Amino acid sequence: MVGCYSSAPCHRRLILLTEATTASSFNEKTVKYETENYDKSLLSSKMIHSLFLVNSSGDIFLEKHWKSVVSRSVCDYFFEAQERASEPENVPPVIPTPHHYLINVLRHRIYFVAVIQSEVPPLFVIEFLHRVVDTFQQDYFGVCTEAAIKDNVVVVYELLEEMLDNGFPLATESNILKELIKPPTILRTMVNTITGSTNVGEQLPTGQLSVVPWRRTGVKYTNNEAYFDVVEEIDAIIDKSGSTITAEIQGVIDACVKLTGMPDLTLSFMNPRLLDDVSFHPCVRFKRWEAERILSFIPPDGNFRLLSYHVSSQNLVAIPVYVKHNITFREGSSQGRFDLTLGPKQTMGKAVESVLVSSQLPRGVLNANLNPSQGTYTFDPVTKLLTWDVGKINPQKLPNLKGTMSLQAGASKPDENPTINIQFKIQQMAISGLKVNRLDMYGEKYKPFKGIKYMTKAGKFQVRT
């Protein structure tokens, strides 16, 4: 099947990646600039030479090479960088070696390490690696774990063969891949085992040569519906006095579109100027967005990410929860006090749910004797990690965690107070204030069911004490 695409020129393959990536990639202007200005001499060599999958234990459990084999010893440079990193996610994404570049991403406790032999734009490789993970998780296996990859290793190799042609990304769209390689099922696996056949389809995808390669032809549904989820993640650092040091919002609009035929959709916002640093799915007509701030697109069939955006102005970022804290340690005392209260703030009456508080207490703390007004708490005396599962915040009776901490006898007062990390969710609210105005459909005569849902959740939300 790979041979069917071998005639495609290299520069076309490079563009195909940008046409078939999710909204987490860079915008269309950046794509065109990087593609057109990319040194043509580099296109004669491979973009990605080899791929290694490394688990949390540091074992390489899968490797894939294109044309020639790269020794596993090249990953020694990655392992050295991993040892120097304080946290697993702090491993540098680009690691230079004498003869290669190692570009990696960490997803689901698995490092996806690509080996590059010549200089290429790192974002191309990083975006492709994320797309590989999303394909495994969302379109084929339901999860992207070491066990799932090992159980479906044949399908994994088939997918990598189709997604990367001679080291360049080619078919990365979900609809195209599902027509090329059928998702594994128990029945299909049994038939393949008995007959010796594979999951590779016998025909080329119908959308591969279309002007809209992300959508297959002949789509039919009994119930036509389109759902859009506006999900915003707030990252913030709050200082001891409750003032905001930094705050920003990372937002996405995920879609589930099941519409018959070839519908043309337009999505407009009440306040589109809020959106900054926007990245689109390739289906979005970028020129119309620039001119009118309206999303116009022919959607892929099924689930996809329509766009991602960033709100960085602190004047526009509302902090949805507040924390009152009193964590003290006395010099020469074997006890410390812990008092923590949470409350909602600027939530427009929406409930703050799924609240989880965690704090890394100082090494000198032996135990914690605390009394929660709601929820449950745990303290690990080995890792010194305090976790409080609050649940839903009741504004009439704010959750409180209060008590004492036992310290080592004769130990000096801790140099720093612990930081507090908070996780939460707020349904039916976009913290940035973004609202969808209307969704219209053209090109088809039926009336679909349309739904919009909002959600705000915490990203890296930290309170310093």
Q: What is the pLDDT of residue 38?
A: 40
C-alpha 340/C-alpha 357 separation (Å) is 10
Q: Tens digit of pLDDT for each residue in 114-168? A: 999 888 899 989 999 999 999 999 888 889 999 999 998 989 999 999 899 888 8
The values of phi and psi at residue 117, to 5°, are: -100, -15
Answer for the pair 53, 61: CB distance below 8 angstroms, yes or no: yes
* pLDDT of 192 strictly over 70: no
Q: Tens digit of pLDDT for each residue in 347-375? A: 888 999 999 999 998 888 888 899 999 99
366 exposed, middle or buried (CB, 10 Å; 0-12, 13-18, 19+)?
Answer: middle
For the entire predicted model, the pTM comes to 0.74
Q: Tens digit of pLDDT for each residue in 209-257? A: 566 778 877 889 999 999 999 999 999 999 988 888 999 999 999 999 9
pLDDT band at 23 (very low <50, low <70, confident <90, very high): very low
Strands 225-238 and 449-464: what pairing? parallel
Q: Tens digit of pLDDT for each residue in 71-98? A: 999 999 999 999 998 888 889 999 999 9
For residue 97, the tally of other CB atoms under 10 A from its CB is 14
CA 202, 208, 213, 216 torsion: positive or negative? Answer: negative
pLDDT band at 198 (very low <50, low <70, confident <90, very high): low
C-alpha 137/C-alpha 155 separation (Å) is 13
Q: What is the pLDDT of residue 437?
A: 93
Q: Tens digit of pLDDT for each residue in 163-182? A: 998 888 888 888 788 878 88
pLDDT band at 13 (very low <50, low <70, confident <90, very high): very low
Which of these ranges, 155-159, 184-188, 290-294, has the smallest mean pLDDT?
Answer: 184-188
* pLDDT of 6 strictly over 50: no
Answer for the pair 132, 91: CB distance below 8 angstroms, yes or no: no
Six-digit token string for 125: 């490789």
Average pLDDT of the residues in 282-297? 93
Q: What is the pLDDT of residue 191?
A: 57
pLDDT band at 188 (very low <50, low <70, confident <90, very high): low
Q: What is the pLDDT of residue 213?
A: 78
What H or E segment, with its residue span, contains residue 84? helix 76-84
Higher pLDDT, 315 or 80: 80
C-alpha 342/C-alpha 393 separation (Å) is 8
What percent of the chain is modeled with pLDDT above 90? 52
C-alpha 284/C-alpha 295 separation (Å) is 6
* pLDDT of 263 strictly over 50: yes
What percent of the chain is modeled with pLDDT above 70? 83
Answer for the pair 233, 248: CB distance below 8 angstroms, yes or no: no
Six-digit token string for 169: 């990304």
